[in-house]
Amino acid sequence: MFSFDLIATQNRARTGRFHTPHGELATPVFAPVGTQATVKTLTPEHLKSIRASLVLSNTYHLYLRPGDELVAEMGGLHEFMQWPGPMLTDSGGFQVFSLSDTRKIDDDGVTFKSHIDGSTHRFTPERSIQIQENLGADIIMAFDECADPNDQAYIAKATERTHRWAERSLAAHKRADQALFGIMQGGVDPDLRRASAEFISSLPFLGIAIGGLSVGETKREMYETLDMVTPLLPEDKPRYLMGVGTPEDLIEGIRRGIDIFDCVLPTRLARHNAAFSSEGRLNLMNASYARDRRPIDETCDCYTCRTFTRAYLRHLIVAKELLAGTLLSIHNLRALIRLMEEMRIAIQDGSFEAKVPSLLAQWQGNAERASKTKNTK
């Protein structure tokens, strides 16, 4: 039901195809985030028009609202939100640690209070898998614990706990039409990372995720960790760098052998009037765009760029019209998806490494690293 075929590699960069019950993913792939069973302000038609393939949704949010059992009753997440393509759910762990008001972690699981109404809930590896089975995404994630990257003692403990929870997640996993991915932790400590990469790789997961990055460490620390980690991973499983990222991080991640990414950055920036462009990031609120007849990006093929001027987009923003968020989300997501398409082609024709400097020059400075902690509500 699942298979991963590498088509081409260049140095450590890879392009391939991951087959899922809801279609094939061309990798490397960037997944728009649909936290609450909707990519904010966009319809599934919009998602098709920007050629999105994989859509992520958040287990923590859907468990609390509308409830995973309700989603299951409605035929599962694909049917509920009418997204016909591949989907991925996270385990809920990260959001419990970053969003819920209070939480108590023990070796068995975590008890937390809802950020919506303060009610008390408990996640364990078994419960997370059960909820994700109710939601029914194609790719589901093991329950893990993401520790503060600067707290060495806590990282060691959390990594060890993540390993036990990985085994329990595997044991709890039943649905053959869902691919369970393991998550390594280990912060930016080389020994812990190596041990975690090796341990998670030794288990029968269908894919390997790198957790605990892009959570407060420096870019350099993130890239060095990736440099060290990806050579330890099995070649034949897809690798997922969770919650990343900026255009620059996508380029640097692919270069280091990553296959799957997700991030709220494109839609979050859209809600803050910012647009990716190959000239650098634009803040469309800026008065200099008031009479600017150009699209956001002359090179972009999205509906927004094919249709509207910067002047009109600025007017919508100034006039507080919600359509601005929709149009900027379309553009920002398409910009990253198009960047991925470009990199897939370059890996296939062997030109990727040669293109990296110009890609970085084009896309660097488009965005600071997203703070995942703040982006998920």
* Binding residues vs its own copies (CB under 8 A): 36-38, 40-45, 61, 65-66, 70, 73-74, 80-82, 290-291, 293, 303, 307-309, 311-312, 314-316, 318-319, 321-323, 325-327
Query: Residue 279 CB, nearest distance to its own copies (Å)?
Result: 21
In the complex with its own copies, which residue's Cβ is closer, 59 or 159?
59
Tokens of 250: 């996508």
Comparison of 61 and 255: residue with beta carbon closer to its own copies: 61
Catalytic-residue membership of 262: yes
Quote the distance between the C-alpha of residue 205 and its chain's center: 19
Residue 208 corresponds to which tokens in the numbers above?
């390997």
Nearer to its own copies, 67 or 280 (CB): 67
Closer residue to its own copies (CB): 12 or 121 = 121
Least spacing, CB of residue 85 vs its own copies, in Å = 15
CB 140 within 8 A of CB 179: yes
Distances (CA, A) of 56 to 244, 290, 296, 346: 13, 35, 26, 26
CB of 137 to its own copies, least distance (A): 16
Q: Which is nearer to its own copies, 309 or 371 (CB)?
A: 309
Tell me which of 138, 249, 262, 297 is the catalytic residue. Answer: 262
Cβ neighbors of 265 (< 8 A, separation 6 or more) are: 245, 246, 332, 367, 370, 375
Residue 106, phi-psi category: left (phi > 0), alpha (psi -120 to 50), beta (remainder): beta
CB of 97 to its own copies, least distance (A): 21
Tell me how far, at minimum, the Cβ of 111 lies from its own copies, in Å.
Answer: 24
Cα–Cα distance for residue pair 155/83, rounded to 1 Å: 37
Helices (H) and strands (E) in the chain, counts: 15, 16
Task: Tell me which residue has tokens 């089975």.
Answer: 133
- Calpha distance 148→168 (Å, rounded): 23
Whether a cis peptide bond, with omega within 30° of 0, leads into 266 is no
Is the dihedral angle over the CA atoms 54, 127, 264, 272 positive or is it negative?
positive
Q: How far is the CB of 66 from its own copies (least distance, A)?
A: 4
3-class secondary-structure state, position 221: helix
Strand partners, 213: none
CB of 38 to its own copies, least distance (A): 5
Q: Which is closer to its own copies, CB of 2 or CB of 303?
A: 303
Which CB, 17 or 271, lies closer to its own copies? 271
Give the pair of three-digit tokens for residue 265: 């950055």
Among 90, 144, 259, 297, the active-site one is: 90
Residue 187: DSSP 8-state: T
Beta strands in 72-178 (DSSP E): 87-89, 103-105, 110-113, 120-123, 139-141
To 10 degrees, what angle do helices 247-255 and 323-348 make? Answer: 20
| Residues assigned a catalytic role | 90, 262
